[in-house]
């Protein structure tokens, strides 16, 4: 018996493989392959080239997520949202003054 037949890691077609779904980040379609999205992931997708620092802040909201909380806000170091095809994530950049 081949033990790898029961091990989904690295075996195509076995176990729960990550699959990408289309979500929208700042209205742009994005192929996303995680089951959840958090504040940092959303910011990195929306603003990959903006320098981050203590004076740079972001507001992150979402709608259309899976589960009991289909809409809400994401905060740095906080909970994540369960990804669902077609969900929308809005990330707004601002500087502290």
In a domain, 66, yes or no: yes
- CA distances to 4, 6, 25 from 58, in Å: 44, 43, 13
Question: How many domains are there within the chain?
Answer: 1
In a domain, 5, yes or no: no
Residue 19: its pLDDT value, please? 83
Residue 72 domain boundaries: 19-95
In a domain, 49, yes or no: yes
Question: What confidence tens digit (pLDDT) does each residue in 30-58 have?
Answer: 999 999 999 999 999 999 998 878 888 99
Number of other residues whose CB lies within 10 A of the CB of residue 34: 12
In a domain, 3, yes or no: no
Residue 37: its pLDDT value, please? 98
């Amino acid at each position: 018996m081949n033990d790898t037949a029961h091990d989904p890691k690295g075996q195509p077609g076995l176990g729960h493989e990550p699959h990408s779904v289309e979500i929208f980040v700042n209205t742009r379609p994005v192929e996303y392959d995680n089951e959840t999205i958090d504040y940092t992931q959303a910011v990195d997708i929306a603003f990959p080239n903006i320098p981050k620092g203590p004076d740079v802040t972001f507001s992150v909201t979402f709608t259309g997520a899976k589960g009991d909380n289909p809409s809400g806000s994401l905060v740095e170091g906080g909970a994540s949202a369960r990804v669902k095809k077609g969900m929308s994530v809005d990330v707004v950049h601002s500087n502290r003054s």
